[in-house]
Amino acid sequence: MKLTLQIIGLVLTLFSFLPLIKSPLWWIRVLDFPRLHVAILLTGTLIAYLVLYGTSETSEVAMIVLWVLGILNEIRYVYFFTPLAPLEALRTEEKQPANSFSLMVSNVRMTNKKYDKFLERVVQQDPDLLLINEPNEEWHAHLRTELDKRYPYAIKKPLENTYGMLLFSKFRLLNSEIRFMVEDDIPSFYTIVELPSGLQFDLYTVHPQPPRLLQNTETREAELLIAAKHVKESRRPSIVAGDLNDVAWSSTTKLFKQISGMIDPRVGRGFYNTYNAHIPLFRYPLDHVFYEPSFRLISMKRLGKFGSDHFPIVITLNYEPQHQQEQHQPKADIEDHQEANELIQEGLEKGEERNGEKNLKAK
C-alpha cells in the first residue's frame, strides 16, 4: 500500500508539472484539462500517506514537499475561476441597458438525434444570436424550418466531419465570411453584427481540433491565435465564441487573451463547465465567449443538457464603449508576440501537411 501511494503521488505530480512544457504534443496538452482533478487526487494521496505512514526519512519529507508543490501548481491555475479571485469582467450598471443582446453557444454533437429537445432550449432562451457547433446536414434539416422563421440572418456551413457550424441572428450581419484559417475542412465564421441602434461589433466563431490520441495541437493553437490577431487589428470591438476545445486556464488561452486584449467573464465567477455533460465527475469549460472591454456583462448561465455531450451556455452583454477603460485589458509583451508568431507558423505548416494528407485520401 505504501509503494502504491508513492507511485500514485509521483504520477500525479508528473501530471501537474508536465503541462509547463510548451509543446503541442497531445499527451502533454491533454493534461491542461484535469488540473482541479489532479489537485484533489494528489491532496487525497498526500493525506492518506501522512495518516498511514507519516514522514520518518528525509526522502519522504522531500517527496511530500514535491507533492505539495504539485498541488499548489494546479491550484494556481484554477483559482482564478473561483469566487475567491477578483472579477475580470464587470457587470453593467445601467438599469435599462440600451444596447443589450444575448448569445447562445451550443455544441449539439453530430450523432445526437434529440433535435426537438435542443429546439426547446432555444425557444426557452430566445437568444438574439445562436451559434451551433457540430451540425451536419441532418441537423440543419431538422432545425432550419423553425430557426429560419425566428432568425432573418444566418451563416451556414453544415459538415459531416463534426466541424460544421451554423450562426443565426436577429440582427443584421454584414460582410460575413466563412474562413478556413488553418485546415481546409475546419471552418470559422467572421461577421459584423449591427445592433438595432446602428452600433456594430465583430463576431468571430471558431471550433478548432482538440488534443487527442496521436493528434497534436499545432492547428488549434494557430487558429486561436490567428483569430486573436484579427481581433487586435480590427477597429471595432470584438467577440470570439465557440467550442475552443481548450480549457479557460491553459497557457494557450492565456496567450490568446494577451494577444487579443479580450476578457473572460468566468474569471472570479466560476468554471461554467460545458463538457462532458454525460460524466459529472469529469467536466471542463470548453465552450467560451471572450469579448473586449467595450462590453459589460448582464448575465451568463449554463443551460440544461439536451442529449449532447456539451451543455449550452448563454451570455447577455451590453455594448458600453464609454466605460471600456474601467475594465482591465490583458496586454501582450514582445515575448508573447514572438511566441504567438512561432505557434501560428508551426500550426500553418501542420495544417498544410494535414490538408495534403486529406487530399491524397480523397483521391
Averaged over 28-57, what is the pLDDT? 94
Give the domain ranges of the chain. Answer: 2-81, 100-326
56 — pLDDT class (breaks 50, 70, 90): confident
Averaged over 28-37, what is the pLDDT? 96
322 — pLDDT class (breaks 50, 70, 90): confident
User: Which residues in 70-181 belong to E strands, given as ranges?
Assistant: 100-107, 129-133, 153-157, 165-169, 172-179
Check whether the bond before 276 is cis (ω within 30° of 0). Answer: yes
Averaged over 136-157, what is the pLDDT? 97
Separation CA 356–CA 148 (nearest Å): 36
Cβ contact 291:317 at 8 Å:
yes
Q: Which CATH architecture has domain 100-326?
A: 4-Layer Sandwich (3.60)
Averaged over 33-44, what is the pLDDT? 97
Cell numbers of 275, please? 463538457
**Would you say how long the chain is, in residues?**
363
Query: What digits encode the pLDDT tens for the residues 104-117?
Result: 999 999 999 999 99
pTM > 0.85: yes
Query: What digits encode the pLDDT tens for the residues 219-259?
Result: 999 999 999 999 999 999 999 999 999 999 999 999 999 99
1 — pLDDT class (breaks 50, 70, 90): confident
293 — pLDDT class (breaks 50, 70, 90): very high
